C-alpha cells in the first residue's frame, strides 16, 4: 500500500476515530482544545490507490522560548497500523511533514502493548522478596509483534528514554492497569475482585453510600475534593479552568465523552472521579477523595458503579490508567498498584514514548533545559 500524508479537517479526523473499535482519548480532535497552550494539527494518512483515509494523528506543537521551532508531540498516537510490515512508509512522511512545520523534535507514544500480567501473578510477585518490579515477573501474555515495532523504530533512528520517556511535562504512563470486560459477565468481573474489594463494596452499600453522576455545574465541588487530595498526596493540582475546558471540549465533540461521578454519604460528597469514553475503551481518568468518611469505602463503591456503567455502554476494557512498576511495599507509589490489583484485572506495559531529534542540537538543548526544571 502506498501512502500519502496531509493535514485533514477535524470532521474527517473524528469520523475516522468513530469508525474504530477504540482509540486513545488523547488522539480525538477535541483533545487539542483541552491542551489549549499547544498549537495543534490533525494529520491523515491516505491509501493512494483508493483515496481512503487509513490513519490519523493529533499533533500538539509546543514552541521553544524565543524561537519559532517546536516540539511536535503525538500523545498515545498516531492512530495507524503499527503492525504494518512497511512501518517506514507510515512514519517517514510524518517526520518530513513535521520538519516542514518547524518541528525540531518529535515525541510519540505508540499505543502498542508489549506485556500483560494477571492480578494473581502480581500478588505472588508482591509476596516474593526477590521481586522488586513488574519486569522481574514472567508476563502472562507477551505480544511478539511489539518487539518488532520497537526494533523498526530503533533502526529508523527513534530513541527511547530509559524511564519510558519521562522528561517532558505531559508524559503518559508506560504501565497501566486494566479490567477486561469483553466476553465476560458482570458477575464474573465481580467474582474476580479480591476479598477486600468485595467486602468494601458491601460495606459501602450497607452504610448507604450512593454514587451519582454530576455535570458541568458540579466541577467546583470536584475541585474541592481534588485539592484536598493534592495536599494529602503532595502533587500540584490542575486549576478548575482545566477541568471546565476539558468538559466543554470533550462533551461538545461527543456528549458522552466525559463523565463525572461522586460517592456521597448522608448528603456529603466523599470521593469523586472523571471518566472518559472513546468507543469501547473507558478510562478512570482523575480521582479525588476527602480525608473524612473513608471508613464507609466511598472509592470502592464509586469504582464499582463506574465499571458497571462502562459495561452497560458495551465497553471492552475499563482502564484504571497509570501505575508504577514497583512491587516494593516501601515505595510511595505501591499503594496505587495495590488498590488497582484488587479489581482482579491485569497490568499492561506499553512500548513507552519515543523521540526523534530532527535537529540534534535543539533536541539536546531541550533535554538539558527540562532536566534543570
Q: Residue 164: which pLDDT band, with cuts at 50, 70 and 90?
A: very low
CATH of domain 3-109+353-371: 3.40.630.30
Q: What is the pLDDT of residues 41-63, one digit of tens each?
A: 999 999 999 999 999 999 999 99
Helix locations, the chain, DSSP H: 10-18, 31-34, 87-100, 119-127, 144-156, 186-192, 195-207, 219-233, 240-253, 298-312, 334-341, 360-372
Q: Is the pLDDT of residue 177 over 60?
A: yes
Helix locations, 85-176, DSSP H: 87-100, 119-127, 144-156
What does the pLDDT read at residue 373?
59
Q: Residue 65: which pLDDT band, with cuts at 50, 70 and 90?
A: confident
Q: What is the pLDDT of residues 316-354, one digit of tens each?
A: 999 999 999 999 999 988 988 999 999 999 999 999 999
What does the pLDDT read at residue 168?
36
- In percent, the amount of the chain with pLDDT more than 70 equals 97
Nearest to 70 by CA among 109, 112, 93, 40: 40
Mean pLDDT of 246-255: 98
Mean pLDDT of 108-136: 96
Class of 113-143+162-350 in CATH: alpha beta
Mean pLDDT of 250-273: 98
User: Which of 108-117, 164-173, 226-235 is predicted with the least confidence, judged by mean pLDDT?
Assistant: 164-173
Q: Residue 166: which pLDDT band, with cuts at 50, 70 and 90?
A: very low
What does the pLDDT read at residue 162?
57
Nearest to 297 by CA among 189, 207, 212: 207
Mean pLDDT of 143-160: 96
Q: Residue 170: which pLDDT band, with cuts at 50, 70 and 90?
A: very low
Beta bridge partners of 41: 59
What does the pLDDT read at residue 362?
87
pTM across the whole model: 0.94
Distance CA 345, CA 294 (A): 24
Distance CA 317, CA 23 (A): 12
- In percent, the amount of the chain with pLDDT more than 90 equals 90
Cite the residue boundaries of each domain of the chain with CATH code 3.40.630.30: 3-109+353-371, 113-143+162-350
Q: Residue 165: which pLDDT band, with cuts at 50, 70 and 90?
A: very low
Q: Residue 367: which pLDDT band, with cuts at 50, 70 and 90?
A: confident
Amino acid at each position: 500500500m502506498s501512502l500519502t500524508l496531509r493535514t485533514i479537517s477535524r470532521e474527517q479526523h473524528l469520523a475516522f476515530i468513530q469508525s474504530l473499535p477504540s482509540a486513545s482519548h488523547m488522539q480525538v480532535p477535541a483533545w487539542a482544545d483541552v491542551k489549549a497552550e499547544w498549537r495543534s494539527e490533525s494529520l491523515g494518512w491516505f491509501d493512494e490507490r483508493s483515496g481512503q483515509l487509513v490513519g490519523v494523528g493529533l499533533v500538539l506543537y509546543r514552541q521553544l522560548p524565543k524561537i519559532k521551532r517546536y516540539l511536535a508531540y503525538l500523545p498515545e498516537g498516531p492512530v495507524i497500523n503499527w503492525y504494518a510490515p512497511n512501518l517506514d512508509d507510515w512514519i517517514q512522511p510524518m517526520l518530513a511533514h513535521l520538519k516542514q512545520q518547524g518541528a525540531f523534535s518529535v515525541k510519540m507514544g505508540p499505543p502498542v502493548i508489549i506485556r500483560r500480567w494477571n492480578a494473581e501473578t502480581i500478588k505472588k510477585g508482591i509476596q516474593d522478596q526477590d521481586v522488586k518490579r513488574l519486569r522481574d515477573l514472567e508476563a502472562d501474555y507477551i505480544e511478539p509483534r511489539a518487539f518488532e515495532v520497537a526494533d523498526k523504530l530503533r533502526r529508523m533512528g527513534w530513541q527511547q528514554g530509559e524511564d519510558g520517556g519521562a522528561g517532558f511535562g505531559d508524559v503518559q504512563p508506560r504501565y497501566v492497569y486494566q479490567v477486561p470486560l469483553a466476553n465476560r459477565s458482570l458477575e464474573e468481573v465481580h467474582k474476580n475482585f479480591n476479598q477486600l474489594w468485595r467486602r468494601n463494596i458491601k460495606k459501602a452499600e450497607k452504610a448507604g453510600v450512593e454514587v451519582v453522576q454530576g455535570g458541568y455545574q458540579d466541577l467546583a465541588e470536584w475541585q474541592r475534593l481534588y485539592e484536598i487530595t493534592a495536599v494529602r498526596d503532595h502533587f500540584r493540582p490542575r486549576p478548575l479552568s482545566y477541568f471546565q475546558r476539558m468538559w466543554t471540549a470533550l462533551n461538545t465533540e461527543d456528549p458522552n465523552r466525559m463523565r463525572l461521578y461522586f460517592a456521597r454519604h448522608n448528603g456529603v460528597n466523599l470521593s469523586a472521579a472523571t471518566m472518559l469514553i472513546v468507543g469501547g475503551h473507558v478510562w478512570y481518568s482523575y480521582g479525588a477523595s476527602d480525608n473524612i468518611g473513608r471508613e464507609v469505602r466511598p472509592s470502592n463503591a464509586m469504582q464499582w458503579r463506574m465499571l458497571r456503567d462502562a459495561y452497560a455502554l458495551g465497553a471492552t476494557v475499563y482502564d484504571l490508567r497509570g501505575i508504577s512498576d514497583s512491587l516494593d511495599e516501601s515505595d510511595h507509589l505501591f499503594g496505587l498498584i495495590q488498590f488497582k490489583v484488587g479489581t482482579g484485572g491485569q497490568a499492561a506495559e506499553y512500548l513507552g514514548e519515543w523521540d526523534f531529534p530532527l535537529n540534534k542540537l535543539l533536541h539536546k538543548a531541550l533535554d538539558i533545559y527540562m532536566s534543570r526544571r
